[in-house]
Amino acid sequence: MRLLLRVAYLGPGFHGFARQPGLRTVQGELEEALRRSECAETQPRLEVSSRTDRGVSALDNVVSVVGSPGSPCRIGRLNYLLPGDVSAWAMGKAPEGVRLRDVCRLKTYVYFIPGPLDPEVFREGLEAALSLGPSRLCRGGGRLEVDDVGVEEVDWGILIRISGERFCWEAVRRIVGAAENYVRMGRPTVSTAPGEGLLLAETKCDAEFEVYPRQISRFLRRWEEEARGWGTGLLLRSSMLRRLTSSRL
């Protein structure tokens, strides 16, 4: 049986999601905790729906792992063994014989940009950026399928929401970077926005999950504690995270 876990993590403390020798990664921390908690096989290997880059945070990424046949997985025990900047908050069972990326397809990313900005002008910038197409926006090639884009003005800046089923490497950050260049210079020159402003906010899956609200609350508290040491940018993003998760608590 393969377990599904919805996980949240703070990106600035990691060199991305994927395991890298000698570097701290989300995958490495999750696999070690899964092994020690006896939720998974002795040498667990994760499958992930979205492989985020260095500095990128997630509220709702989804991973799959072969569960331990001998004992049920206790999510409280798993989170006890995880560091404070990673948390699992929902659990389910993966459909047999289906790849995780086919089970969990639609993803919504949110990018926060601080400061006084005109949301209408930024919408124009996003349209101009998307007109560049995958050949310009995908670093190293790949597929890009964006279904919806939105801009929301908030007290401390703007939130950009980008939803779709396929995101090639650095696509969201390059869309945002090109839109920023359009706003500043009048043309959507491709550049890559910093990973620290990006949050994977939601992943929709064709599977049922049991949600553990206490684990979400625990993660939110830790986010705010950690953010105090990382400057005002993350403090603002912690407010954004509370806002995005208010319906889950």
Tell me the pLDDT tens digit for each residue of 106-144: 999 999 998 888 999 999 999 999 999 999 999 988 999
The chain-wide mean pLDDT, for the chain, equals 90
- pLDDT tens digits, one per residue of 3-60: 999 999 999 899 999 999 999 999 999 999 999 998 987 788 899 999 999 999 999 9
Tokens 């393969």 belong to residue: 2
Q: What are phi and psi of 168, to 5 degrees?
A: -75, 175
Higher pLDDT, 68 or 189: 189
Question: In the structure, what pLDDT confidence band is assigned to residue 176 with cuts at 50, 70 and 90?
Answer: very high
List the structure tokens of 70: 């001998």
Q: What is the pLDDT of residue 48?
A: 97
Q: What is the pLDDT of residue 45?
A: 87
Domains of the chain: 2-103+205-245 (3.30.70.580), 105-199 (3.30.70.660)
Question: In the structure, what pLDDT confidence band is assigned to residue 245 with cuts at 50, 70 and 90?
Answer: low
Q: Which residues are catalytic?
A: 53
- Whole-angstrom Cα distance, residue 188 to residue 180? 8
The bridge status of strand 2-9 relative to strand 104-114 is: unpaired
- Whole-angstrom Cα distance, residue 58 to residue 193? 17
Q: Is the dihedral of CA 14, 16, 22, 27 positive or negative?
A: positive
Q: In angstroms, what is the C-alpha Rg of the chain?
A: 18
- pLDDT tens digits, one per residue of 222-244: 777 766 665 556 655 666 666 66
